[in-house]
Chains A and B, each alone.
Chain A
Amino acid sequence: MDMAKKSQPKKSAPATKAKASDKKAAAPKATKTKESAEESAAIQQAKSSSSSKKGITTSSTAEYFSKNLQQVGFSSQVKAVLTTLKEAVDNSLDACEENGILPEVTVTVEKVGPGSLKNSDQVRIRVEDNGPGIDPEDVPKVFGEYLASSKFGRGRCSRGQQGIGISAATTWAQLTSAVGARVVTKTEKMRKAVRCIVEVDIKNNTGVLKEKDSVDWEKPHGTSVEFLIDGRIQLNGEAGLISYLNGTTLVNPHLTLHYKLPEMELHTVERVSNTVPEIPSAVEPHPHTMKLGEFIAHSHLFGRVKVGAWLKKGFSRVHEGTLKELNAAGIKNGIFEKLVDSLHESEFKELFMAIQNIPLMAPSTKSVLSIGEDAMAKSIKRLGAIDFFSVVSRKPTICDFKPVQIEVAVARLEDRSIEADAPVQVLRFANRVPLQFDKSACAIVHAIQSVNWRAYGLGQPKESLPQGPYIIAVSVVSPFIRFKNASKETIDGSDELVEEIRRALIQSGQRLSKHIRKEVKANELEEKLRHIEQFCPILVAGLARITKASDSRRKKAEDGIAKLLGRDARDTEKELKAAHDVLEEQTAKASQKNSKKAAEAEVEA
């Protein structure tokens, strides 16, 4: 189930430089995920706010999450480290993007000592960005208060969605090492940076500042946040930190990332794009994508407004004409005049059923954001030495009435230390956040398995992932991604979504196969040349012995066979050249297409 995809009805402007403070004050919030934890806490909050107009009761929210951290990514020692890092990096990237800043992020993860929990280490995680910085008065809210987000369920493709992330990390730090988040932040307007420790007052869901201080910081603006937590550092493998950082660089071509991980040198990955992705403005939820419960929860976000106004403002593709159609379908006009918070559940139900039967336009695809083939092509080379690759950006489309854009990159790694029959490396992204757990149930993996990769020259056991030194990266961007479980690690795919991903994969497979074909031809040629060299003398010598032929006959035959087979080799050479040309043509076409796209984009702008 998708939770009420609500936005802040009164605040339609896409918050550039929005302050966390007005976010919280502006409207009650709801989450837009389906998780019970976020959902129940959010609904609770929404409800309490609509019943008691002032004095939002948030006390239960922090308490609820502090007891249910496993539901939001803290279910194991390994995950705790990854989630903390992820939340901080997500926030840095979101903040930069919202403010048109090219992000430069420095990540440090280090082992400090033994942890307080069994089998754990004390781990320090620091993420520093060159983002806009945080207004000092918002700092306690950002790091110490749940549901204080600027991005609440606004139906946008931002990484963070509901303001649980970073406060959960603070809570975990507090629970395991008795210190909250260490923050240094500076906005453009400030001369000095603010340094402090933020802790969550769990009983009251507020942030508490400690050791507040003013310090010099050479950065014009930015934020550094540091957590000391119990956890375990896993560097390698699909669930490892390296895979997370690789994935993050891949889908953020505009990011410059420095990272220092235990037992590794400081690494720098330079940006390959100088454009900050434009986050399209929010969209309201589409009624056909909702369930009754979500529909009702959605209404709670609006307090005392008329039903007619709620329907028109709170949903996309619902307008005056829709109300007329609803009326024709048996909904009394009086209902539209009622206040939404006075509707009975039976009335909600009636309304909900009626609206499901009215044909509505599919939601707009304008709300999705793409990385772009060009940028991805450059970005993928940052993952390591690559023989060749192909990238595909599908046009934004509608799946299950939700706008979505699929992008795929497939690359072959030069590194052959991986066993040839090991499955390919799969990188999955939901709104540009890498997904690293519960792979097998994910729609992306199902789509990959459904493609016949053998047709493109890859090995693939029946109904499995293809094999070999390849990376297959699939990015799903949508303001409404449906996840399978609470930890948001698997995309729940309808047949429609899987099919859309599959198409992207097939396109990229076809492009890739041209490279593979060329390579096969090159190998063929090499083998043929080797054959000629090796077997011709042996064959002729054998024939000469059996026939007791003279030396001069043998010589002549050797020349003859060399001439003969040389012709074959030249044919192969020609085929190789043809395969090469096909590839060149494809590349030329692609770059032509891209420059055309760029030109179009300019015109639009």
Chain B
Amino acid sequence: MSKNLMSSSDEIPKLSKDLCNRLLQDLERAKRPVLYATKCSLDNAIYNHKVGFFTPGSKKVATELNVSSVKKMSRAIFMLEILLRNLDTGAVNTKRELYYISKGEIKHNPDLKPLDFADQDESDEIIDFICELLECYREELNCYANDRGGQTYSQQLVVTETLPDGDKAVVDLSKLGTSPFQPKNRPQNLKLSAKKKIDFCLIVESEGTANTLVANGFTKRHNSILMGAGGVPSNAVRGWCKLIQDQLRVPLYFYGDLDAYTMQNIFRTLKAGSASSLIRNEDFSAPEVRFLGVLPEDIKKYDLNDYPVKENDAQEVRALKKASDAMKNDPFFLDKKNKGLTQILKWLLEHKRRCEQQAYFTVDPRDPTMPEKIIVEKIKRGDYV
């Protein structure tokens, strides 16, 4: 099924009912029902640079009903009922809230006791399972994660949000002063426009550094959108970038640390999505985003402080290990269109050094706008990958 952010509101209930009907029919015939879900892993991830993001291959995971899976299935149908009710009434919940709602249902109906979740991990797993079965996003089931990351600043951007009751809210980002705009998990309800031509969108890995750049006047001096990713991009950040790319058609640049973790877990996810989110990459990746820095050659050019990867830096050591695998079997890094990025990974593997985004601050310690100058210069010169 093709994913589209604007999937009509009754599509999910209909899909669900069809699924349940099929299950019931099989059971009536004493036939073993088998459910298929897309396999979400690297070995089922296809990357084509013309598409720009990971798409699912043909592999499916089959779950058949048997004595061992009957518990999981029963739980899934139980949770699905709660979610369908939410869709019906328009109520939304987080996963944690759904955990408590399910607890409440069971409390009021002792017959359901065997379904009881021991902890939230168990109920989360069931919610994910439902998404896989219906091949839909969690958000389409009115289940939203905490919005995290993506604080955005701009003097030109205007966001129009359609509220559930049909009302429209208009946010002019230039009116927010030093406060950022926080994108939502439901990008489908947002409409973007520019008061004035926007030249580019800069996504900074650290929200703190994004904030510093703005405080020092970045958005005043440049017609731009400046966003802090806040580490590994959440769905909100990913969907937001995709929205900016599609609706505003401005170039996007990513500026973050030079290390294997940032390259694979942050930048790659932003640009092409991830293997574990195969079914949502279409709406949650911005293939046009470019890697502005820190580039390996920047270290020499700007005499930046870099340092060797410490052995006790577990995260980076793991990322390096993953990188050497990625060079061999990650279709994204194998694609020749991404050769420049692969080159950076190779450099990281060879040198085992890293350089942080904040290193631009050493270039001229007395000039707070030095990082801004370097960034803008790099954009102007096409100094990115």
Interface residues of A (CB under 8 A from B): 528, 531-532, 534-536, 538-540, 542-547, 549, 553, 556-561, 563-565, 568-569, 572
Contact = CB atoms under 8 A, between A and B. Distances in A.
A565 B64 CA distance: 11
B83 to A, nearest CB: 11
Contacts of B67: 528, 531-532, 565, 568-569, 572
Nearest first, the 5 A-B pairs at minimum CB distance are: A542-B77, A560-B30, A557-B27, A568-B67, A534-B114
A546 B81 contact: yes
B28 A538 contact: no
Nearest to A572: B67
A505 B83 CA distance: 55
Residue from B26, B29, B78, B114 having most chain A Cβ neighbours under 10 A: B114
A538 B32 contact: no
Given A531-B70, A565-B67, A543 B20 contact: yes
B159 interface: no
A543 B21 CA distance: 7
A545 B23 CA distance: 13
B20 A547 contact: yes
Given A542-B77, A546-B84, A561-B70, 8 more contacts: A531-B70, A535-B71, A538-B115, A540-B24, A543-B77, A557-B24, A563-B30, A565-B65
A567 to B, nearest CB: 9
Interface string B66-94: 11101101100110110010000000000
B281 to A, nearest CB: 29
Contact of B17 (A546, A553, A565): A546
A175 to B, nearest CB: 59
Interface of B is mostly: helix
A560 B27 contact: yes
Contacts of A534: 114
B24 A538 contact: no
A564 B23 contact: no
29 contacts: A528-B67, A528-B68, A531-B68, A531-B71, A532-B67, A538-B74, A538-B78, A538-B114, A539-B70, A540-B24, A540-B27, A542-B74, A542-B78, A543-B23, A546-B16, A546-B20, A546-B81, A549-B24, A557-B28, A558-B27, A560-B26, A560-B27, A563-B30, A564-B27, A564-B30, A564-B66, A565-B65, A565-B70, A568-B67
B77 A539 contact: yes
Contacts of A542: 20, 74, 77-78, 80-81
Residue from A538, A557, A561 having most chain B Cβ neighbours under 10 A: A538
Nearest to B23: A543
A535 B114 contact: yes
A454 B78 CA distance: 37
Contact of A564 (B17, B32, B68, B115): B32
B11 interface: no
Contacts of A539: 70, 73-74, 77
Contacts of A553: 24, 28
B111 interface: yes
Contacts of B23: 543
A200 B185 CA distance: 92
A22 to B, nearest CB: 73
A276 to B, nearest CB: 55
A547 B21 contact: yes
A544 to B, nearest CB: 7
Contacts of A549: 21, 24
A280 B377 CA distance: 95
A148 B115 CA distance: 75
Nearest to A534: B114
Residue from A540, A547, A558 having most chain B Cβ neighbours under 10 A: A547
B62 interface: no
Nearest to A569: B67
Interface string B16-57: 110011011011111110000000000000000000000000
Nearest to A532: B67
A556 B24 CA distance: 9
Nearest to A540: B27
A145 to B, nearest CB: 67
A558 B23 CA distance: 12
Contact of B112 (A538, A547, A563): A538
A565 B66 contact: yes
B87 to A, nearest CB: 12
A528 B67 CA distance: 6
A561 B112 CA distance: 18
Given A543-B20, A549-B24, A564-B32, A535 B81 contact: no
A559 B31 CA distance: 11
Contacts of B70: 531-532, 535-536, 539, 561, 565
Contacts of A557: 24, 27-28
A564 B73 CA distance: 15
Nearest to A541: B111
A544 B30 contact: no
Contacts of B29: 560
